[in-house]
């Protein structure tokens, strides 16, 4: 049996035998990404709707900046926060560097423009008859906004899924702000990088499969949740 | 009886184009009003204003005796049911779509469900009940939009071209329902349609809407052309109609159908407008008959049963159309 096949088999074995270390790393990744996405979504969903529904000066410029920030390199976010949270930095006294909190903050910054931009794009392309139909059906101002949010929920869910994908798969922020500490800040991506460099290809491969599986399950859950919500 | 609507000095513009221009107009309560007019005549804008969706640029609306102001706009709007020409259905189930107006008004869940089921049963929509709204065809969407408005039993029901996408069977159901409302005078209904025959079938009162102005039903003989002031005639391109004094810019006139005299031979009378044509159709209403004649321009004349028998008309019969210049109204 060649090296590659052997590695695949060992990786599946680790997954099927519920290797504690493997699943703890996966859980850490999942937890940090879910918290990041939840916190960012709480801010960005209403902000994106407000942004889309209101006219103000500089709107187009802000949208251009958001578009640019969609491709924000993870290491740049890691670098900036490292500077802020490091011992020499202005927020160094907080002692947040190499903590899960620092990783969450970094991921929030990373996915903020993604969720905001995709929600704005979804709201901008919503059917213009939504508002008039709500009014005609007797909605007050508050009810009209709730209906609008409900009608663009697909765009919101797509934004959340895209952001989650970005957060769980990023390595720059996790590595620079988390420091890859075993049992604390080690995530799937940082572990893959470390284990592979150590020659533990099977462990890295098993984490890779789990990463894909998580992304797939999240998509399925989102779709099901969406169906239940209607 | 209170008017459902009393409109004073109502204007609405898109850019420089005036689309509603109503100095004074009333829609009587518990009557069925039908508005007939071509595309772009201002029907939809007027309906958007009447449903309190759009605010007019100037003028006042009194709805069921109350002057519409910002403070009572929502409460008054909830007394109106409006089905738009291209209705939007929310991205939920058909059932939820029908129930949404009641939900927004705070009707209890139990009552919502029972009333929704009733209207679904009444309109024969059972097969659509569990479908998602966005899976429906244009005609099915129109049916659901009607159902979600009818279920509210609004005091005023406004329907913009409700028959456009409907199949024959459902058109008949809707016609029966509207005739029932008309007979029992339970609601004020305002409908727009292109179809003159249907307008007369359904309406207590039929108006034409031309360039944002409402013209009484009698003026269904709308004729376009230009006024020749030196001869005091209106040149339609096919006929010269004597109309007396008019404004140089007059471009649309209307001839009162009740004042058109039909005869088998040219009349020797003071009526200066006499044109020969042929009969193209008939529509019977209770004790009167509307005869359509093509005399270069199309005319509709309303005559009695008795006159109809005397003339012994049939499709294609040669006939003379005569009317006085005073039977002509200047529309625009």
Q: Is a pLDDT exceeding 70 seen at residue B273?
A: yes
Residue of B nearest to A129 (CA): B88
Q: How far apart are CA A229 and CA A126, in angstroms?
A: 19
Question: What mean pLDDT is predicted for residues B110-119?
Answer: 96
Strand partners for B209: B214
Answer whether A130 touches B (CB < 8 Å).
Answer: yes
Phi/psi at B201 (5° precision): -65, -40
The CA distance from A69 to A77, in Å, is 11
Q: Which residue(s) pair with B171 in the sheet?
A: none
Using CB atoms, which residue from A130, A143, A151 is nearest to B104?
A143
CA atoms within 13 A on the CB side of B276: 6
- What residues of B are in contact with residue A230 (Cβ under 8 Å)? 91-93, 96, 132
List of domains in chain A: 21-181 (1.10.3720.10)
The pLDDT, as a whole number, for residue A230 is 47
Residue B285 tokens, joined: 């209403």
Q: Give the number of A-B residue pairs with CB atoms closer than 8 Å.
A: 49
Of A1-5, A167-171, B24-28, B272-276, minimum mean pLDDT range: A1-5
Instruction: For residue A213, count other CB atoms closer than 10 A to its CB.
Output: 12
Partner-chain contact B93 A230, CB within 8 Å: yes
Residue A76 half-sphere exposure toward CB, CA atoms < 13 A: 7
CA distance B289 to B285: 6
Q: How confident is the model at residue B219 (pLDDT cuts 50, 70, 90)?
A: low
pLDDT band at B52 (very low <50, low <70, confident <90, very high): very high
- Mean pLDDT for the stretch of residues B253-264: 87
Query: Taking the model in full, what pTM does it have?
Result: 0.74
Tokens 């071209």 belong to: B161
Mean pLDDT in residue range B38-49: 88
pLDDT digits (tens, 9 = 90+) for A58-107: 999 999 999 999 988 999 999 999 999 998 889 989 989 999 999 999 99
Q: Show residues of chain A in contact with B105, CB under 8 Å.
A: 138
Give the pLDDT score at B159: 97
CB B173 within 8 A of CB B99: no
The model's pLDDT over B91-113, given as tens digits with 9 standing for 90+, comes to: 999 999 999 999 999 999 999 99
How does pLDDT run along chain A (230 residues), one tens digit per residue? 587 888 888 888 888 888 999 999 999 999 999 999 999 999 999 999 999 988 899 999 999 999 999 988 999 999 999 999 998 889 989 989 999 999 999 999 999 999 999 999 989 989 999 999 999 999 999 999 999 999 988 889 888 988 998 999 999 999 999 999 999 999 999 999 988 888 888 888 998 998 888 878 777 876 766 555 44
Q: Is B72 on the interface with A (CB under 8 A)?
A: no
Q: Which residues contact B23 (CB under 8 A, 6 or more apart)?
A: B8, B9
> Which residue in this structure is represented by tokens 């898109």?
B14
Cβ neighbours of A130 in B, within 8 Å: 88, 90
DSSP state, B254?
E
- Counting Cβ atoms within 10 Å, is residue A119 exposed (0-12), middle (13-18) or buried (19+)? buried
ipTM reported for the complex surpasses 0.90: no
Q: Is pLDDT of B195 > 90?
A: no
Residues of A in contact with B86 (CB under 8 A): 129
Q: Over the stretch B300-321, which tens digit does the pLDDT of each residue have?
A: 888 888 888 888 888 999 999 9
């Amino acid at each position: 049996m060649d090296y590659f096949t052997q590695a695949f088999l060992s990786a599946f074995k680790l997954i099927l035998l519920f290797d504690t270390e493997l699943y703890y790393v996966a859980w850490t990744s999942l937890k940090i990404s879910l918290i990041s996405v939840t916190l960012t979504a709480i801010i960005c969903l209403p902000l994106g709707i407000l942004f889309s529904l209101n006219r103000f000066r500089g709107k187009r410029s802000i949208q251009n900046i958001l578009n640019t920030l969609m491709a924000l390199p993870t290491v740049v976010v890691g670098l900036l926060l490292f500077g802020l949270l490091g011992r020499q930095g202005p927020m160094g006294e907080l002692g947040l560097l190499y903590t899960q909190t620092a990783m969450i903050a970094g991921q929030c910054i990373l996915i903020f423009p993604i969720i905001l931009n995709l929600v704005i794009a979804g709201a901008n392309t919503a059917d213009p008859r939504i508002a008039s139909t709500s009014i005609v059906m007797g909605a007050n101002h508050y009810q009209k906004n709730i209906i609008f949010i409900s009608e663009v929920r697909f765009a919101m869910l797509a934004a959340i899924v895209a952001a989650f994908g970005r957060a769980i798969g990023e390595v720059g922020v996790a590595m620079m702000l988390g420091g890859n500490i075993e049992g604390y800040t080690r995530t799937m991506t940082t572990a893959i990088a470390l284990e592979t460099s150590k020659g533990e290809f099977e462990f890295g491969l098993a984490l890779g499969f789990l990463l894909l599986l998580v992304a797939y399950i999240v998509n399925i859950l989102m779709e099901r949740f969406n169906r239940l919500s209607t | 009886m209170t008017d459902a609507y009393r409109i004073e000095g109502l204007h609405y513009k898109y850019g420089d184009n005036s689309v509603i221009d109503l100095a004074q107009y009333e829609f009587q309560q518990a009557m069925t009003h039908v508005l007939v007019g071509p595309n772009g005549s201002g029907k939809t804008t007027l309906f958007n204003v009447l449903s309190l969706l759009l605010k007019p640029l100037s003028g006042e609306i009194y709805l069921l005796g109350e002057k519409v102001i910002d403070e009572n706009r929502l409460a008054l709007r909830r007394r109106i049911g409006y089905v738009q020409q291209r209705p939007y259905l929310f991205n939920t189930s058909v059932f939820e779509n029908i129930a949404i107006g009641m939900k927004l008004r705070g009707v209890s869940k139990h009552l919502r469900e029972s009333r929704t089921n009733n209207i679904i049963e009444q309109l024969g929509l059972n097969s659509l009940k569990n479908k998602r709204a966005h899976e429906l065809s244009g005609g099915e969407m129109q049916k659901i939009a009607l159902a979600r408005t009818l279920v509210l039993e609004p005091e005023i029901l406004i329907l913009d071209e409700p028959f456009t996408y409907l199949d024959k069977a459902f058109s008949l159901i809707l016609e029966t329902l509207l005739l029932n409302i008309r007979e029992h005078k339970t609601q004020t209904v305002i409908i727009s349609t292109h179809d003159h025959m249907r307008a007369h079938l359904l309406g207590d009162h039929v108006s034409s809407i031309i360039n944002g102005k409402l013209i009484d039903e009698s003026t269904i003989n709308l004729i376009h052309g230009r006024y020749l002031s030196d001869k005091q005639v209106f040149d339609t391109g096919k006929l010269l109609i004597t109309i007396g004094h008019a404004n140089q810019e007059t471009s649309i006139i209307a001839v009162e159908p009740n004042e058109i005299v039909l005869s088998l031979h040219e009349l020797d009378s003071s009526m200066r407008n006499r044109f020969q044509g042929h009969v193209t159709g008939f529509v019977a209403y209770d004790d009167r008959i509307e005869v359509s004649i093509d005399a270069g321009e199309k005319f509709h004349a309303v005559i009695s049963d008795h006159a109809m028998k005397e003339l012994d008309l049939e499709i294609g019969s040669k006939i003379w159309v005569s009317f006085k210049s005073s039977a002509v109204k200047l529309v625009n």
